[in-house]
Amino acid sequence: MRDVAIIGIGIMKWGELWEKSLRDIFVEASLNAIDDAGVDHIDSMYIGCMSSGLFVGQEHLGSLLADYLGVRPIPATRVESACASGGLALRQAFIEVASGMNDIVLAGGVEKMTDVGGNEATYALGTAGDQEYEGYHGITFPGLYSMIARAHMHKYGTTREQLAHVAVKNHKHGSMNPNAQFPFEVTVEQVINATMVADPLTILDCSPITDGAAAVIVCPYEMAKKISKKPVVKIIGTGHATDTIALHSRDDVTWLNATEKAGKMAYGMAGKKPDDIDVVEVHDCFTIAEICVLEALGFAERGKGGEMAESGMTSLGGEIPVNTSGGLKSKGHPVGATGIAQVHELVTQLRGDAGKRQVENARVGLSQNMGGTGGSSVIHILEAE
């Protein structure tokens, strides 16, 4: 198996992009990645997208986006794993390059979510849960994550203020990210007193509805060393695991089994442990999610993720900076693009190009992208040359 490196990254400003279509934003981010890589062609392409059929009425994205990017007739495959679609697209691109099937592969993610109303968006996102046993009874993702939060608070003593600290930290980081949807700071009091969505989660505990795309270019490591004009970032570990899609089927609703399993797989492949990681991007679709993910990945003891958030350890300048991009909370969450954008941020950090939000001496980064309430999870570990 060949070693694989990332030689190009691309993103665009995320938000409510009324004037741009799904194909427009994907092409914009992909051309930025191709330009950053300095390559004149790509051999293959994977597109992470959760629900283009429900959001914009468009399927068959492989053909559509290869055409509009101007790269047909290359093979182009749409990948879906709910909100983990982007991370899984990169994993598939990694496997293709590592296997020797192709050399230069684009992994992109895209979602256009604001062309439908709130009820339609809620329905589309709800398809990432168990439709027969959760959706049928009216439960939505804010409701599911509120139950996780309440269970965590009851079991471990996690406080409402600790949840709020996750949002405060991520918005502070996002205020330094020019591509973020909501680049402004918030306070603990504002988070707690914001409009209630599903007790105890307010609207400022929840990631937004977002239009956006991101892309990366991967190639063999030996090729990257020869052709890249920028610091080479190697993918040294990857992991993918699944769990029950329904929250009620799990032994412990506060524990993310798929994240734990995928993390162990990635750590083992990379030969790393949590203490070796310098910067982390995790799937903070809700504030409680970041707390649970950090526990499952071994950055915090079981039940101590809330204390970790409150302590400042996960802030810029802290022991292990988390979501320096602003995370899903501030940067935005176009569900199919999120996993790719996380890796975009890590490469930016490992190249030393993050500006005001730069983590000092960042050499190793980890991204964690998950679908639904953790029914699937994808991990990547990257290392700067």
Question: 76-79 and 105-112: which strand pairing?
Answer: unpaired
Domains of the chain and CATH, by start: 4-117+209-227 (3.40.47.10), 136-205+235-384 (3.40.47.10)
Q: How far is CA 47 from CA 20, 104, 108, 267, 329, in A?
A: 18, 15, 5, 25, 23
* pLDDT value, residue 84: 98
* pLDDT value, residue 331: 98
For residue range 92-108, list pLDDT tens digits in order: 999 999 999 999 999 99
What are the residues facing 286 on neighbouring strands?
A: 206
Give the burial string for 33-68 (b: 16+ CB within 10 Å, else e).
Answer: bbebbebeebbbbbbbbbbbebbbebeebbebbbeb
Mean pLDDT along residues 18-26:
97
Q: How large is the C-alpha radius of gyration of the chain? A: 19
For residue range 141-153, list pLDDT tens digits in order: 999 999 999 999 9
For residue range 191-225, list pLDDT tens digits in order: 999 999 999 999 999 999 999 999 999 999 999 99
Residue that has been written with the tokens 């293959």 in this structure: 44
* pLDDT value, residue 340: 98
Task: Give catalytic residue positions.
Answer: 83, 333
Q: How far is CA 261 from CA 162, 241, 316, 379, in A?
A: 26, 6, 27, 10
**Position 385 confidence tier, pLDDT thresholds 50, 70, 90:** confident
pLDDT tops 90 at residue 25 = yes
* pLDDT value, residue 149: 98
For residue range 220-238, list pLDDT tens digits in order: 999 999 999 999 999 999 9
Residue that has been written with the tokens 């990547």 in this structure: 380
For residue range 115-167, list pLDDT tens digits in order: 999 999 999 999 999 999 999 999 999 999 999 999 999 999 999 999 999 99
